[in-house]
Amino acid sequence: MKILITALGSYLTGDEIADAVREYAQALADERATDVVDIPIAGDGGSTRLRMSVGWLVQVHAVDAETDGSELTDPATSTRLRERATRLTTHRMSPEPFEPLGLSDYDWLRYA
């Protein structure tokens, strides 16, 4: 289990869920974007759901937690977050090759 730490609180959740949240948060931050995720967390009376902001300018840290309970899992949530992260990282635009003044090779050095 891991504890997700934000400016608003700390939340106990499963390892896979926490890792997926961090991956998605980093992908969003790289794009200077934010989103709200809905994840399961462990509460006093069992598990419950948490909606939290992640991404650009939102700090989310994860630390390992020792617990006596069983690992909290939600494969659908983990998969969905990882798919979102993958979509963000694979659709980034790559820069066009730069040819100054429309000249190719090193011809432009003569004009520098």
Give the start-to-end residue ranges of the domains of the chain: 2-111
Model pTM score:
0.79
Q: Annotate 81-97 with DSSP letters as a single string.
A: HHHHHHHHHHSPPPPPP
Please give the structure tokens belonging to residue 57: 């300018």
Alpha carbons 57 and 10: distance in angstroms, whole number: 18
Q: Are 26 and 83 in contact (CB under 8 A)?
A: no
Per-residue pLDDT tens listing for the chain (112 residues)? 999 999 999 999 999 999 999 999 999 999 999 999 999 999 888 899 999 999 999 999 999 999 988 899 999 999 999 999 999 988 665 566 655 555 555 555 665 5
In DSSP terms, 50 is beta-bridged to 39
User: In degrees rounded to 5, what are phi and psi of residue 15?
Assistant: -55, -50
